[in-house]
Amino acid sequence: MAKATFAAGCFWGVEATFRQIPGVMSTRVGYIGGQMENPTYQQVCTDTTGHAEAVEVEYDPAKVSYEQLLNVFWENHDPTQINRQGPDWGKQYRSAIFFHSPEQEAAAKAAKEELGKSGRFSKPIATQIVAAPEFYAAEDYHQQYLEKRGLATCHIK
């Protein structure tokens, strides 16, 4: 098993998207990249902790590659927006890839560069690519939030 961590706006829809990918064994939503230990949802929503809402993905590299996960990440949000996605705004909604190995870092940077050169977006890619610090799992009621409510998505592409 391997781990990948992505921030692409509100974590509910991001998690639901990754859970559909064959080879993804589990997901959990949480907070990463800030200054506070064990933040709560209410604290992260103040936009003062520095954390991003993110999804930690456990996957089987024999069934799905990290590059395939990156493609899902890029396809399911607007990586040109700074500190927002759709109607949600604040640092907690930033676009970021938190890498867990030098190989993931290289793959993420190469994918970002390729996407930037593709002409798909008229603005520069704002996605941060940083080493994964400690990930703090969100409260239980956030885990598989959409699935628990019978919803497929809340994404705004």
Q: Are 127 and 75 in contact (CB under 8 A)?
A: no
Q: From 113, 79, 109, select the one nearest 95 (Cα to Cα).
A: 79
| DSSP state at residue 142 | G
* Strand duo 88-89 + 95-99: pairing: unpaired
Question: Any idea what the Cα angle at residue 84 is, between residues 15 and 136, rounded to 5°?
Answer: 45
Alpha-carbon gap, residue 116 to 122, rounded angstroms: 9
Active site residues: 10
* Count of C-beta atoms within a 10 Å radius of residue 11: 27
